[in-house]
Each structure stands twice: as structure tokens, then as C-alpha cells.
Structure 1
Amino acid sequence: MKTESLPPPTPSAEGHWVEGELVRSLMRTQRNTQWVGLALVAIIVGVLWDDTSPLLISVWLLLMLAMTAWRLGILRLYEREVMQEGTDEHLAFFRRHRLVWPLSALAWGLATMLYFDRTSLADQFVCWLAVAGLAMFSINTLSSQRPVMRGYLDTFAATALAVIGWRMAGELGLQGPTYHWWLVALLLILWQVLRHAGDRLHDTHRRNFELQFRNTQLIDSLTRQTQAALDAVEIKNRFLASAAHDIRQPVHALGLYADWLGSEPELVHELAPKIVESTKAVNRLFDSLFDLARLDSGKIRLNIEPVSVVKLLRELELQYRPLCEAKGLKFRLHLRPGTAVSDPILLQRIVGNLISNAVKYTQKGGILVAARATREGLRIEIWDTGVGIAPVHQREIFREFYKVPGHAGTEEGFGLGLYIVGRLTHILGHPLELRSRVGRGTVFRLMLHPTDPRAAADRAVASVARMGREP
């Protein structure tokens, strides 16, 4: 099977995938974050227990435990229902639960009420160190999502500054020690530094995922191209084997007839028709090869013009009626005057291949070639009373080199006739319908929709481009 190449990813598809991976990265860090947070809560409570109101610190402790339980519940829900799902599910989950991070930051910011200017400088130093460490740790764990990281830092800093401002202005009337102002300045500087560092970390995360996405696309593309190259080698080998087998028979027959004629020239009247038939067989094989080569190389030239269907079918009658009569078959022609807008040479090749196929697989009865007017336009039909095609093979017969197993006559060609018909009808925009019953015969109906030159040229180019990708 040939591998189908995918078009290059669109920026929106890449961005969508990257956003999903950023959410995955955020959620992967949350379990460790909870344990670190609980450890810092324990440190702050232990340091302040003897210096702060037991009621106040107990309320804050209960608040932090409730926030931790909420975040752990969200994490379990994620691991149970979302972790193995796709990008859309991750983004939807994140939108539903994104408020948990700023609310956690609010709870941490309220801790400032427990120690700022209410305990010894040593205890305040330990608490500020723990909180600063938490803020620095947060930019590593939350920076994969810029809005979350910024929201967390902004909420934490705003809450802490509000508490400090209330203590300095509301309770102390701005008469507190000078170090309060330096502490506010330090907090503002730390806030902006952490924000800037978080932005840079986020950009690094995003670039890494963008590179991962593009590398994955590149690897997939290289894999498809490698598979296409292997398939091309396989097709070439099949083609050479088929060509060698099919051409050898009529060429070998020609050699035998020529030797026979050389030794017994009096048999010229008996041998000449056989030599002619063998020559025609070789010509038909080479015609198929040339048609295939033109299609695959993209050198097919379209000449779209009005085509007289009556004239077209009369010319084909002159070519194929003798073949039918030589096999004892009836050849009937039903004409309906009309004009098709198409390429006359390619259209003749399509109908000719269908008639040739009908003659090849019909041993008794006959062939009917008809032009009919329908509601959708002019249509050409080729009926035969041949062996018929089983449903399992009706799609396969349009594949390259495919021959229906067990059909008499398959040894006479490469299995390219209907493949070429399928390619040409697609290019010209003439839908082809097949109906067949095993043992009763087959009918092909070719709808002669007007061919648009530009669309046909585009389909011809696309047909060549798909050669390495279609099964």
C-alpha cells in the first residue's frame, strides 16, 4: 500500500496542540507542588504557633488544608478522567478549574497577616524566606501556563501588599519602622523579577513544544516518504515482472511464426494473420505503457473542445467491429446525436479501453455501445455479455496492474486498461458507473459532463502528485 502524505500543519493546529501540551505540563507538576506547599505550611505554623493568635493561625491552617484538599481532588479527577484524553479535553478541563491557582495564591498572601510586624524579626525572616521560596517555586511549576503563573504571582503580591498596607497605614498610621518601606520595595522588585523570569520560562516551554510538534511532523513526513519510496520500488518490481511476462508471450510467438515462415514460406497466408495479431498484441501492450508513462510523468496535454459523440463512436466501430466478428460476437451501435465538451483523444482512449475490455472478456453474445440523453446530460454506455465482475473485485479493477483472478484474457495485458480509464475519467470530470453480474455481463456508463479546462488541468497535476500516496 502506498502511504498518503499529509499537508503541512496549519499554525492553528500547531497552536492548539501546543496549548494542550502546556496544560499537560502544568498538571504533571501539581502533585509535587502540593507536598512542597504542605511542608511550607507546616514550617510557618511551627514558627508562629507561640507568637501569633492560636485562633487566627488555626483559621489560616484550616483554609490552607481546605485549598490543598480541593487541589488534590482536582488532580485526582484529572488523572482519572482527563490525563489519557486529547487536547480538547485538556483545554476544557483547564478552563473549568483555572480559578484554583489564584485562590491558592490569595490564601498564601493572607499568611502575611500572621507574621508581618506581629512577630520577632527572626520569625518574620523565616516566614518571608518560606513565602519567597514558594513564589520562586511557583514560576517553575506554573510557567507552562502564562495566565496561571501571572495570576498566581499577581494575586499573591497584591494580597501581601494589601495586608502590609493595612498594617502600615490603617493600624500604624505610617509611623512604623523604616524597614517596612524597604520591605515593600523588595516585595515589588521580587514580584516583577519573578514575573519576568516566569515569562521567559513560559517562552522556553512553548518553543520546546513547538519544536516537538514540528519534529514529530517531520519524522512522520520522512516516514511516509520512506514508505512511499519502498512502495515505489515494490511497484517497479511488480511492473517489470508483469511487463516481462506479458510482453514475452506475443514476442515469443512472433519469433516462432517468423522462423516458421522462413522455413516454410508457402504457409504465408496461414501465418500472416497470426503475425499481425501478435504484432497488434505487442502494440496494445506498449500503448498501455505509454499511456501510463504520460499520466505518471505529468506530460499529458489537455485539448478541451466540442466532440461529436456520433463521430467518435463511428470511428471506434471501425476499429472494434472486426475484432468482435473475429470472435463470433455481435457488435451493435446505438447513436444519439450530441456534443460533449472534452478532450477528443483522451475521451476516445477511455471509450476504446472500455470496448476493448468488453471484447476481451466476452466469449459469446455481443457488445452494445450506446449514446443516450439523460436528465444529467449525454451518456455513453458499453454493455457486454461477458463473464461479469464479482462485487469483491469491482473496486479493485481500477487499481494499477490488477487482474481479476481466474478471468480468461487477463494474460493478454498488464492490468492497466481500467486503471488508465479511472485516471482519465477523473481528470476530465466524466463520472464512470459500473454494474455487473457474474456470468451475465457488465455495463459501464460514462457521464459526459462538460470538462472545465482549468479544473481538469488542476486534477491532472493533483493526480501526478498523488501517485506516491494512493493505495
Structure 2
Amino acid sequence: MKPDVTPAIATPAETQWVEAELVRSLMRIARNTQAVGVLLIPVFVGVLYDDHEAVALTLWAICALAVAALRFTVIRKYVHEVMAAGSRAHLQFFGRYAALWPVSAFVWGFSTVLFFDRSPLADQFICWLVLAGLAMFSINSLSSHLRTLFLWLDTLAVTSLAVILWRVGVELQFSGPFYHWWIIALVVIFWQVLRQAGLRLHNTHRRNFELQYRNNQLIESLTRQTQAALDAVEIKNRFLASAAHDIRQPVHALSLYADWLGSEPELVHEIAPKIVESTKAVNALFDSLFDLVRLDSGKIKLAIEPVDLAQVLHDIELQYRPLAEAKGLEFRVHVSPGSVLTDGILLRRIVGNLVSNAIKYTQRGGVLLATRQRGAGRVLEVWDTGLGIAAVHQKEIFREFYKVPGHAGTEDGFGLGLYIVARLSTILGHPVTLASRPARGTVFRLTLKPTDAKQAAERATAASTTLQLVSMP
């Protein structure tokens, strides 16, 4: 037994595209079959030429040719103006001119006036064959657009039946031959059979276009995923190159200092601080790598609770003031007392990365770490008087492994600090913005909106899942 498969729900974009393709199919067939309807007009006239008044026959032929000419003009307009356009243009165009098809059906249906019960049975038989052929031909040419097909068939059948019933009931007062009723029955049966056949064929066309659309979407999705995988491979290659380069420098320095200390132990007081600094550099690089791995694997454990901002800034000051003062920079802290609902460890990591960057790229002046009340929330700011960031780089600096070209200090890291800041701030729901002027300094602002624990967990999971899908080879 085959399992039940729930059909995919069509999106508005899919529905519009499919409808437009159905219109395109109808118009394409109409271009190729227009001549057939025109050629049947002289055939029809030739059959009835000796059976009917020339005036009435001529008037009908003129009307039929006029409608055919109008359809030919519309088709030409479609070819030159719409055929290469998008879905919306197709639907709008067809909406304006769709009435031409039922008008054509009315003209052909009204031709029943010329032959029904007014011509020899042989000529009537030929005329009925022509109308039946047109009706069957419409199944192929109009079934792409179901509404147009039904309007065409209904108009043709109702017009023919109205003429027949007028002849039978009004003119003949129901005194005509019995085969008239058989003709009425056959027209009704034939009409309904054609409607059902047209419906089935239309459903086939529609399913084909729906499958085509979904296949195209699948191909585009696979193409995007393939490109994303290639991009991920490129990122990994750049990462390996960057990691090899950035880690090699402090490790190589450690090796030199160790050799130096081994050969001249009396210089321990001079060499030991250099070894400590190199060790700190290696630790900082590995901290960035570990943060990146945790982010990408989705193994971040969130502990959302009220966090005292004064305590956060105090901890950051204890950690980074010595680094700033060692470079001769002033390190100031301005605290607006209060708390925020967030993850204290991740918040410290965000602020620590921002302060570390500020110190790294500031050669003179200082760094200010402050919290301010803004409206109903709080904003945490990190100011520096450093190199600044040109506008062209301000969006790029939040990408992984990105280093601003020509910035002194970019050789001391992977270019992951601000990428980690962006990822963590997104997870916690604390938007981060910046304002900067080259050679004047930079300020990063972290808007401390209360973190919703459930939404933060979902954002962390979604971010890691997306990254894993992108990184699949």
C-alpha cells in the first residue's frame, strides 16, 4: 500500500507563475492554429451557398472574418509586447483580451441559424461536423486556460441550443420532426463530454507546470547550496591559511624566547614578560577559535537572568585596564546603575571583544566604556580614539576572517572578534551598531533589550543549523 503523500501547498508566486505559463501555452497554440479557423469560414460558406440567402450568409462571413482579424491583431500584439515579459504582464494582457474567444464561439454558434432545418440534411450534417470539429479542436487549443475553454464551449453550445429551441418551439410550434429532439440531446451530451475532457486535459497541463516550477525551484535551491558549499570550502581554506599565519608568529616568538632564555638564563627578568605576552597572544587566538566552534556547533548554553551592568563593567575594567595602561592609554568607565535580562557570560564576551578591539587599534588617547539610559532601555557603548573605520568597511568588519586592509594590529588575530560579537548579539537580541570616522575614533553601541530565553535558544539553534547546512560538502 502506498503511503499518503500530502501535496505541497502552492505559494502565491507559484500560482501566478503557473497561471502565466498556462496563458503562454494557450497563446502559443493560438498563434499556430489561427489559420485553421479562418480557412473553415469559406468552407462553411461554400456548403451553404446554394441553400440560403446570400445577404445573411455574407453578413455572417463578415462577422466571422472580423472576429478572426481581431484575434490575429491581438496575437501579434502579444508576440511583440508581452511574449518575452514576466508573469504579471501575461495575466494582465490576457485579462484584457480573453473575451475575444467567447465572442468567436458566439459567431460560430449563431451560424446554426443559417443551416438548422433550413438546408438539406446532407448540408446540415456537414455544418454540424464543422461545429463539432471546432469544439473538439478547442479542447486542445484552449484547455490550458480552463475558464476560457468553458466560456468558449458554453457560449457555442448555449447559442446553438437557443437557435434550435427557437426554431422548434417558436417558429415550428413543436410540430417539427422528432429527430430535432435527438439533435438537442446530442448537442447537450457532446457539450458535457467536451467539458469533462477539457477539465482532465487542463489538470494535466496544470500539474505539468506545477512540477516544472517546483523542479526549477529545486534546481535553484541546489545551485545556491552548491555555491554556498563552495563558499564554505573557500572560507575554510582562508581560515586555515589565516590560522597557520597568525598562530605561527607568537609560537615562533615563544620558540625564540625559549632558546634565548636557555642560552642566557641571566636575562630571565627581561625575557619572561615577553614569553608571557606571546602566551597571552596564543591564548587569545585559541579563545576566538573556541568561540567560533561553539557558535557553529550550536553548543552555547544560555543562562538568561538579570545581570548587574555595574558588575559587568567592573569585571571588564579589571581585565582590560592593565592592557590599556601598558599602551599609555586612558581607560575610563561610566556606569549608569541598573540591570538587564540577558546571559551574563555572553554579554561579557561581547563587551570584552569590543574593548579588546578598541585597545588594539588605539595608539593614543583612550577608551571609554559606558552604559546609558535611552528611553525604556539601556545602551552599552565602547568609545575609542583610534584609527577609525572607513564607511566602505563598516559592514564588512562583522564578517568572519575580515581584516580592514592597512590597519595596524590586524596581524594579531583571525578577524573573528567582531564576527563573534555580531553572532552573540543576534542570539541575545542586543542589536549592535557603530559610528566611526577615520583617524578620529569609533563608537560601538549595544542596545540591551531584555532577552527572551526561548527566542534566544531558537536563534542559536537556527544559526548553527543554517551554518551546518551551508558548510555541507
Match of 1:131, SS state, is: helix
Aligned twin of 1:26: 26
> What's the Cα RMSD here?
1.9
2:323 counterpart of 1:323: yes
Q: State the one-letter code of the partner of 1:113.
A: V
Match of 2:433, SS state, is: strand
Aligned twin of 2:76: 76
Rounded Cα–Cα distance in structure 1 between residues aligned with 2:390 and 2:308? 34
Aligned twin of 2:308: 308
Rounded Cα–Cα distance in structure 2 between residues aligned with 1:117 and 1:217? 57
1:290-301 equivalent positions in 2, closer than 5 A: 290-301=290-301
Rounded Cα–Cα distance in structure 2 between residues aligned with 1:15 and 1:371? 52
Which string of whole-angstrom CA distances, capped at 9 and with x for unpartnered residues, describes residues 393-443 of structure 1? Answer: 111111110001111111000000011111111221222221222112222
What TM-score, normalized by structure 2, do the two folds share? 0.93
Rounded Cα–Cα distance in structure 2 between residues aligned with 1:375 and 1:166? 81
Rounded Cα–Cα distance in structure 2 between residues aligned with 1:285 and 1:14? 48
2:418 counterpart of 1:418: yes
Q: Residues 59 and 251 of structure 1: is their aligned pair in 2 closer, same or farther, counting only changes over 3 Å?
A: same
Q: CA shift at 1:329, angstroms?
A: 1.8
Rounded Cα–Cα distance in structure 2 between residues aligned with 1:100 and 1:17? 23
Q: CA shift at 1:235, angstroms?
A: 0.8
Rounded Cα–Cα distance in structure 2 between residues aligned with 1:382 and 1:173? 99
Rounded Cα–Cα distance in structure 2 between residues aligned with 1:312 and 1:260? 40
Q: CA shift at 1:40, angstroms?
A: 0.7
Rounded Cα–Cα distance in structure 2 between residues aligned with 1:29 and 1:179? 37
What TM-score, normalized by structure 1, do the two folds share? 0.93
Rounded Cα–Cα distance in structure 1 between residues aligned with 2:415 and 2:265? 36
Rounded Cα–Cα distance in structure 2 between residues aligned with 1:177 and 1:374? 94
Task: After superposing the two structures, state which structure 1 stretch, 141-150 or 429-438, moved more.
Answer: 429-438
Aligned twin of 2:341: 341
Q: State the one-letter code of the partner of 1:88.
A: R
Match of 2:186, SS state, is: helix
Q: State the one-letter code of the partner of 2:409.
A: G
Q: State the one-letter code of the partner of 2:286.
A: F
Rounded Cα–Cα distance in structure 1 between residues aligned with 2:156 and 2:49? 22
Q: Which one has more relative contact order, counting CA pairs under 8 Å at least 6 apart?
A: 1
Q: Residues 211 and 348 of structure 1: is their aligned pair in 2 closer, same or farther, counting only changes over 3 Å?
A: same
Aligned twin of 1:279: 279
Q: Which runs of 5+ in 2 are unaligned?
A: 1-7
Q: Which runs of 5+ in 1 are unaligned?
A: 1-7
Aligned twin of 2:133: 133
Rounded Cα–Cα distance in structure 2 between residues aligned with 1:52 and 1:106? 20
Q: State the one-letter code of the partner of 2:212.
A: Q
2:420 counterpart of 1:428: no
Match of 1:400, SS state, is: coil
1:246-261 equivalent positions in 2, closer than 5 A: 246-261=246-261
Q: CA shift at 1:376, angstroms?
A: 4.4
2:114 counterpart of 1:114: yes
Task: After superposing the two structures, state which structure 1 stretch, 261-270 or 105-114, moved more.
Answer: 261-270
Match of 1:363, SS state, is: coil
Q: CA shift at 1:301, angstroms?
A: 1.5
Match of 1:383, SS state, is: strand
Query: Contact 2:232–2:470 at 8 Å: present in 1 too?
Result: no
Aligned twin of 2:4: none
Rounded Cα–Cα distance in structure 1 between residues aligned with 2:28 and 2:409? 65
Q: CA shift at 1:170, angstroms?
A: 3.1
Aligned twin of 1:406: 406
Rounded Cα–Cα distance in structure 2 between residues aligned with 1:151 and 1:380? 67
Q: CA shift at 1:207, angstroms?
A: 0.7
Match of 1:133, SS state, is: helix
Aligned twin of 1:157: 157
Q: Residues 185 and 18 of structure 1: is their aligned pair in 2 closer, same or farther, counting only changes over 3 Å?
A: same
Q: CA shift at 1:221, angstroms?
A: 0.9
Rounded Cα–Cα distance in structure 1 between residues aligned with 2:149 and 2:377? 65
Rounded Cα–Cα distance in structure 2 between residues aligned with 1:447 and 1:161? 75
Aligned twin of 2:5: none
2:267 counterpart of 1:267: yes
Task: After superposing the two structures, state which structure 1 stretch, 461-470 or 15-24, moved more.
Answer: 461-470
Rounded Cα–Cα distance in structure 2 between residues aligned with 1:12 and 1:431? 33
Q: State the one-letter code of the partner of 2:126.
A: V
Seq. identity, %: 65
2:368 counterpart of 1:363: no
Rounded Cα–Cα distance in structure 1 between residues aligned with 2:447 and 2:200? 62
Aligned twin of 2:146: 146
Aligned twin of 1:5: none
Rounded Cα–Cα distance in structure 2 between residues aligned with 1:334 and 1:199? 75
